[in-house]
Structures are given as C-alpha cells and as structure tokens.
Amino acid sequence: MSPLLRFAPSPNGRLHLGHAYSALLNDAVARQLGGVWLLRIEDIDPARATPDNIAGIEEDLAWLGLDWPRPVRRQSDHMADYAATAERLRSAGLLYPCRCSRGDIAAAITAQEAETGKPWPRDPDGSPLYPGTCRALRPADIDRLVSGGVPLAWRLNMADAVAAAGPVSWRAFELAGRIWAVAARPERWGDVVLVRRDTPTSYTLSVVLDDSVQAITHVVRGGDLEAATDIHALLARLLGLSAPLYHHHAILTDAQGQKLSKSRASMSLAAMRQAGESPATIRKRLGFG
Ligand SMILES: [Zn+2]
C-alpha cells in the first residue's frame, strides 16, 4: 500500500505559520516515504467555516509551493456518513444524550468539589471531566428527550466503550523509520461528546472515519492531539475501522512561548505575503529551506 498522508485544517480563520509548518512537514514526510498527502477541509463548524477561509487555505498552500491531488475532501459533504457512524455506536448502546449546558456542568462539578473537598479530575487538556449527570437517563427519558426537539449532544459512555473494546493501542512512527505501540488510555477523557449539539458530528468522530475512508496510512499532526489519539484508536477499534500510524510534531510557539494560533503576535500567511515575505523565506524559517 502506497503511503498516504493528509493535512487537515479547519477553516476557522486564515492559516498561520504553525499550519505552514505542519503542511510542509506532511509534504516532506510524504516525499521521504514515496507517497502523497491529501488536503482535507475539516469544516464541520457551520458558523465558522466561511467560503473565504476555505478558499484561503488552498491559496496559502499553493503560495507556499505545495500541491495535492484533487478533489479535496470536505467534511461538510459527508455529514450523513458521520451521522450513520454515530448511529452505529448509539445502537450498540455506547452513546447517551446529554442536555447539560456548560453552566450545568460547572455547577455539578462545583457541588462535587464542595462535597468531597477534592478537585474534580481533569482530562489531558485540562478541562474537567463530564460529571456524568445524563449517564443514568432511562430509555423512556431518552425517548422523551429525543422526541422533544431540543438540540442534544451525544456522549460516549467511556466505561462501557473501554469494556467493549478491550485493551487498545495505537502505533507511533518516527521519521527515521522506527514504529512502536502506544497503549491507549482513553478513560482519561471521560464521557466525551461525539455528536455536538450544533452539528451532527464532532472533530473526534469525523477524523476517525475520514482517516479510514481515505485510507490514510501515516498521520503527521501537532502534539496537541497526541493524548486524544487514545480516543481515536478506541473509536477505530469499536467501529472496526483501519487506523493509521501517527507522528506528533512539536507545536510552534512565539517568543513568549504562546501557541501560535492563540498568540496575538502570530500573523497569518496571507498577512505575511502582503507584507512582502516570500515563500522561500518562510520555508527557510521553518526549517524546510
Ligand atoms: Zn448531560
């Protein structure tokens, strides 16, 4: 099987240097492996994925001197597939609806902390685990909620999912060729949302299905997603989907140590282009000179 990679930005704004680094690294690794990389537009966020941002991604990547096969997969074209995938998990009894607002969740956690005198556990990204308020809903309550027309999120029952899947691991790869197994600990994330209230999928659900449908063999992405790979591996196992090898690269930060996407100093590639920077200088600055 020929190596196949992907660069998969969300069109929630213009690309910045961190994106350029990831795209250039995907291109370099694809060349090294004798494969190609695909562009995937992760536009499940209906409010933020604007046509301008989507067009801007291709424009910025082309300006950097990159090229990729067409057509480009856009997640918004595959919403029915994500919904069908969620339905498989739902009919296996692994998803439950959640009507909690952020405020409800915060209040439940505050109450728990007051009762136990201990800090509530947090996931690897630092967010408090879902307190499980809706986990105990009975089938009749669920039917009433679902037919009530109120938008609901659907959460993975992590304990049941882990029990159903058994031990899960994923494979990491180094650019020098070493491959090793990483034991997944998805339970660190608690009952994650797999179907959002505002869109019939989630980043997590879509990325797992897409990597399998597109037969991606090697994923090269930022280290901020490394811990979440445990959930991706769990879902791939539960759904019987193929899973790629993963390489998680360092996240570029600015001089103040801020992640570039969050940094006020980070300029978009479009702004750098307008300021007269050349693709060659940017490539060189990122170590691809
Ligand atoms: Zn809930």
Q: What is the pLDDT of residues 44-102, one digit of tens each?
A: 998 889 899 999 999 999 999 999 999 999 999 999 999 999 999 999 999 999 999 99
Rounded to 5 degrees, φ, ψ at 194 are: -105, -20
Average pLDDT value for the chain = 94
Centre of ligand 1 from the C-alpha of residue 65, in Å: 47
Centre of ligand 1 from the C-alpha of residue 100, in Å: 4
Comparing 37-41, 231-235, 252-256, 264-268, the range with the smallest average pLDDT is 264-268
Centre of ligand 1 from the C-alpha of residue 113, in Å: 18
In this structure, what is the dihedral angle of CA atoms 277, 219, 250, 40, given to the nearest 10 degrees? 40
3-state secondary structure of 240: coil
3-state secondary structure of 249: strand
Centre of ligand 1 from the C-alpha of residue 134, in Å: 4
Task: Enter the tokens of residue 222.
Answer: 């930022």
Q: Tell me: pLDDT of 257 over 90.
A: no
Centre of ligand 1 from the C-alpha of residue 157, in Å: 12
Return the bridge partners of 73, or none: 40
Q: How confident is the model at residue 260 (pLDDT cuts 50, 70, 90)?
A: low
CB-CB contact of 33 with 3 (8 Å):
yes
Centre of ligand 1 from the C-alpha of residue 256, in Å: 38
Q: What is the pLDDT of residue 262?
A: 54
Instruction: Work out the average pLDDT over 144-150.
Output: 86
Centre of ligand 1 from the C-alpha of residue 131, in Å: 8
CB-CB contact of 35 with 245 (8 Å):
no
Centre of ligand 1 from the C-alpha of residue 98, in Å: 4
Q: How confident is the model at residue 256 (pLDDT cuts 50, 70, 90)?
A: confident
Centre of ligand 1 from the C-alpha of residue 138, in Å: 13
Comparing 24-33, 235-244, 268-277, the range with the smallest average pLDDT is 268-277
Q: What is the pLDDT of residue 263?
A: 55
First-to-last alpha carbon distance for the chain, in angstroms, is 30
Neighbours of 140 (CB within 10 A): 8
Q: How confident is the model at residue 238 (pLDDT cuts 50, 70, 90)?
A: very high
Centre of ligand 1 from the C-alpha of residue 237, in Å: 25
Pairwise CA distance, residues 234 & 183, whole Å: 11
